[in-house]
Amino acid sequence: MNVVSFLQKNELFARAPASVLERVSTHLTRRRLREGEELFHEGEIGDAAYFVVSGAIALSARGIRVASAIAGDCFGEFALIDDAPRSATATADKDVVLLEWTRKDFMDAVGRSKTVAEAMFKALTRKLREDVHYQVKTDRDLERARRVQMAMMPTSDSNDGAVHIAGICRPALAVGGDYYDYFSLKDGTVAIVIADVLGHGFDAGLLVAMIKSCIDTQVRVDAAPASVMRALNRIISRSLDTVLLTSCCYVVLDPTKRKLSYTNAGQVNPFLYRSERARLDRLESTDVILGFPGRENASFHTRVKDWNASDVILLFTDGISEAEDGQELEFGEARLGRLLADAKEQSPGEIRARVLEAVAQHSRGVEQKDDETFVIAKSATAASRRTRHR
């Protein structure tokens, strides 16, 4: 390939003297990436721009694909003039050949040619305007997506006299990968589900929507924990090109039989406070995480435990237990368990407030890194149960 002829077709060098292009061409480094290979990651400090010779590059920000760079395009130009973090992640959309232009060599070219400096200034100004326009549009779209996603989760607490439930989801980004829900089943039992999709952003949010749709459909056919989990595993495994592993715990509470049945596919083990014994138990994992390659048709297991008067269950994602303070120390599962035991006499709404306050105090001044979601369900007292069944 004639590098000088290639550069002349790019707007940055269209008017540059041949002598400058000859010098620039000797300082360009050829890079080859295989499909799916990452060139640089959002947030990294960069010092080079890239010209696409062949193939294509996908550019994504906050988990959302925002642009593509194809043969003849240049991307990463702002890294030539400042030390700001990369605003996007660049990944080979297909096998790609690139020419890398470092900041040092760029400064040399600018110093030797006024036309190169003017072309770069115009190109960066135009791109900055495009980026601002795109950012405004993206922020609006993400806000709409956030509202839609939050509407898929409960908007109020639930209390049918036998079971009182409260929950919350706090995404780290506009669109998150956590999900929870609770609802009454036709046989008088109550179901609770919590799920955590690996990652954040649009892909994870799309999978959350699919999870909700799958559960809503499956519980009309068979609401047993193992059956629901098997349906979820199939939809997660087969619906997306990208592997998005998902942990999930699905619990059915039966106030009449005083039983709790559950299937836990890799979710952080929920806490179960047993009032009669004043003991804190865990709902241990029954199966591997959902969406695991090669397990599309896997079967799942169900475990049954007692669910007595005043018992409390706390389901949570690792964004709660792994919330960090300024010294990168995690909030911890042990602390969360102690908090639940101390607050056992309080209502689920009051326990929720205590957990939120404790995590906020622990992480004060630290940016939230992961979605934070938890659900508390409490069985009615023996007295209220007798009143309800008179």
Residue 171: which domain range?
A: 153-388
Over residues 145-160, mean pLDDT: 83
Q: Does residue 349 register a pLDDT over 60?
A: yes
Residues 173, 228 within the same domain: yes
The residue among 136 and 189 whose pLDDT is bigger is 189
Report pLDDT digits (tens) over 103-115.
888 888 777 767 6
The residue among 159 and 293 whose pLDDT is bigger is 159
Q: Which of 19-23, 109-113, 344-348 has the least mean pLDDT?
A: 109-113
Q: Which of 76-90, 267-281, 285-299, 359-373 has the least mean pLDDT?
A: 76-90
Last residue of a domain, one of 143, 163, 188: 143
* Residue 303 falls inside a structural domain: yes
State the burial class of residue 25 (Cβ atoms within 10 Å of its Cβ: 0-12, 13-18, 19+): middle
**Per-residue confidence band for 383, with pLDDT thresholds at 50, 70 and 90:** very low
* Cβ neighbours of 324 (radius 10 Å): 16
Residues 103, 249 within the same domain: no
Residues 294, 221 within the same domain: yes
List the CATH number of the domain containing 132: 2.60.120.10
Last residue of a domain, one of 143, 174, 191: 143
Residues 139, 157 within the same domain: no
The span from the CA of 146 to the CA of 74, in Å, is 32
Q: Does residue 20 register a pLDDT over 90?
A: no
* Residue 148 falls inside a structural domain: no
Last residue of a domain, one of 121, 143, 165: 143
Residues 84, 47 within the same domain: yes
List the CATH number of the domain containing 356: 3.60.40.10
Q: How far apart are the first and last CA of the chain?
A: 88
Report pLDDT digits (tens) over 170-207.
988 767 789 999 999 999 999 999 999 987 666 777 78
Number of domains in the chain: 2
pLDDT recorded at residue 321 = 95
Q: Using a cut of 0.85, tell me whether the model's pTM lies above it.
A: no
* Cβ neighbours of 213 (radius 10 Å): 12
- Residue pair 197/244 in contact (Cβ under 8 Å)? The answer is yes
Q: Does residue 136 register a pLDDT over 70?
A: no
Residues 108, 165 within the same domain: no
Select from 161, 319, 162, 302 the least CA-distant residue to 228: 302
